[in-house]
Amino acid sequence: MSFRLRVLGLLMLVAMAATAATAWLTLRQITSQVRESDRAGRQEVSRITEELHAYGFEHGTWDGVAPTVGELERDTGQRIRVTTESDVLLADSDALAGREPRAVSSRPPVLVDPRPALRLPKGKVPLASVKLTVAAIGEYRAVATYQACLTRAGVKVTARSNSIGIPRIISTDRRSPQCKEPTADVDPRAAQDHDAASRCVSEQRIAACLQRVFDERTVSVAPSRLQVRLGVRDESPPTLTAAPTVVVAVGVGLAVILGGLLLSRAVLRPIRALTLAARGLGEGDLERRVPVSGRDEIAELGRAFNRMADSVQAGEERQRRLTGDIAHELRTPLANLRGYLEALQDGFVEPTPELLDSLHEEAMLQQRIVDDLQDLALAEAGALTYHHAVVDLRDVLETCRTAHRTQAETAGVVLELEAPQQVFVDADTDRLRQVVGNLVGNALRATAPGGTVTLAVVRHGDSAVLQVRDTGKGIPAEHLPHLFDRFWRADAARGRATGGSGLGLSIARQIVTDHRGTIDVESTVGVGTTFTVVLSTAPADAH
């Protein structure tokens, strides 16, 4: 399957999962909201009935209940219609708000009974409960009549229930002369009340019977029960329709397909360019590169490919240059050897000892070039053999100084040693001598008679610093970056006899690198050159 189809399939799967999760979360949230709304609706219904019950309990009448209904409509947002049991309209919130009354909901009305619920003490003997009920009937008749009179007179009444549930007026904002306050006079209907209540003594549920008698004997003064209708007919509850979810899912799917196409195009175009460039590189077109723009991962991949192609091209050029350098180094001496040998064969030249020595020296020079090339190849391949041991660098420098003393005296150069203390490193002695010998040989060739070449070593913390300093003519700054290149010479006029094979510094750098060290060079024209080798030290007692 192609990458584009895989991307589209993955994006579609993600889109479908995201849409399904969104729909599920939406359904769950709406369901929760519906439940919360239903719970809030029940709380509102409870508040409405409680406040209407409190109004009838405190006022003993439903006169003046309209402001309370209007306030409840504003607080709860419910459409409220209040009627008596005989369907006499007492208040309509739509009419109170100045609107055309809407058809009420077909749901059953809520009943509100403002009459007190008797709280008879438990454990009382039946006759005591009957006596309390008769007293409560008489008391309620007087209080309810007085409450209704005060309400019709516009007096604000505040009442609370007493110990058995009968309203007790707490306060009024003023008195009304036409309203007679309740007194302790005996109610002429008390005997009839007692007879009715006494019939409950034989009942098993005496409390319920006494409550029924209380309601029947006070019906003439108590406010009638209310029928409270809430809501509007055909008002639909909030529901979750599938159409918007389907539309959103289709829209998300189309957006994902479009995004997948754009993404695959943006990804596949540079990948296709990388494929073509890699194929061309493999076929030998080392100039092939890919255009790169941006800072994303694809752009970084393109830059990495271009760096790899640059490295491959540079390696190829180095290989060609190395082949050319080797051919150049070997062509002239081999031509000289061939010419003299052919002259000897033809009898044009006499085989004198001087001629044979010259030819032998020329062959030894070629042997040295071949040996150096072999050492360099082994070192760069990591196959050069090392025999590590704890070495005193002062001994290494002293050995090199002794080996090059004759050459220094012949050149009129002073060869000095600066090694104030022993400095031990873990290294191959012969390879270090090869490095130092190469540096000393180069320094002696670059130093004029009367000059000085100094071999120095010091310990600097956990590092051993070895230096070869000369007072020669120095190396120009533009030549320093090429100093360790193969067959490169700062002075092109120096030949093989005076300039070596041109591989010594390359071999020295590789040997130092294999010892996990560094080699650097500093030079000033007319002052001299300093090569610095830094290696890690080893404890003196490690050997």
* This prediction's pTM: 0.43
What digits encode the pLDDT tens for the residues 316-353?
Answer: 777 776 676 667 666 767 777 888 788 888 888 888 88
Per-residue pLDDT band for 179 (boundaries 50, 70, 90) equals confident
For residue 505, count other CB atoms closer than 10 A to its CB.
21
What digits encode the pLDDT tens for the residues 291-322?
Answer: 887 777 778 888 888 888 888 887 777 777 66
Per the listing, tokens 């007293």 go with 135
**What pLDDT is recorded for position 450?**
93
**What pLDDT is recorded for position 4?**
59
Per-residue pLDDT band for 530 (boundaries 50, 70, 90) equals very high
Query: 532 Cβ partners below 8 Å, 6+ apart?
Result: 465, 466, 467, 519, 520, 521, 522
Name the residue with higher pLDDT: 236 or 54: 54
Which of 103-107, 274-278, 288-292, 525-529 has the largest mean confidence? Answer: 525-529
What digits encode the pLDDT tens for the residues 137-149?
Answer: 888 888 888 888 8
Structure tokens at 407: 């050459």
Look at residue 497 and tell me whether its pLDDT is greater than 50: no
Per-residue pLDDT band for 522 (boundaries 50, 70, 90) equals very high
Look at residue 423 and tell me whether its pLDDT is greater than 60: yes
**CA 1 → CA 7, 9, 13, distances in Å?**
10, 11, 16
CA dist., res. 52 & res. 170, Å (int): 19
Name the residue with higher pLDDT: 497 or 53: 53
**What pLDDT is recorded for position 380?**
67
140 sits in which H/E element: helix 126-152
By residue count, the chain amounts to 543
Closest listed residue to residue 120, CA positions, set 160, 163, 161: 163
**Pairing outcome for strands 80-84 and 518-524:** unpaired
**Pairing outcome for strands 424-427 and 452-460:** unpaired
Question: HSE on the CB side for 389, CA within 13 Å?
Answer: 11
- What are the backbone angles phi and psi of residue 255, rounded to the nearest 5°? -65, -40
Arithmetic mean of pLDDT, 424-436: 91
Structure tokens at 101: 């009354």
Per-residue pLDDT band for 499 (boundaries 50, 70, 90) equals very low
242 sits in which H/E element: helix 242-282
Which of 53-62, 90-99, 513-522 has the largest mean confidence? Answer: 513-522
**CA angle, 323 as apex, 322 and 327 as ends, to 5°?**
115
Query: 19 Cβ partners below 8 Å, 6+ apart?
Result: 245, 248, 249, 252, 253
Closest listed residue to residue 52, CA positions, set 76, 30, 34, 31: 76
Per-residue pLDDT band for 369 (boundaries 50, 70, 90) equals low
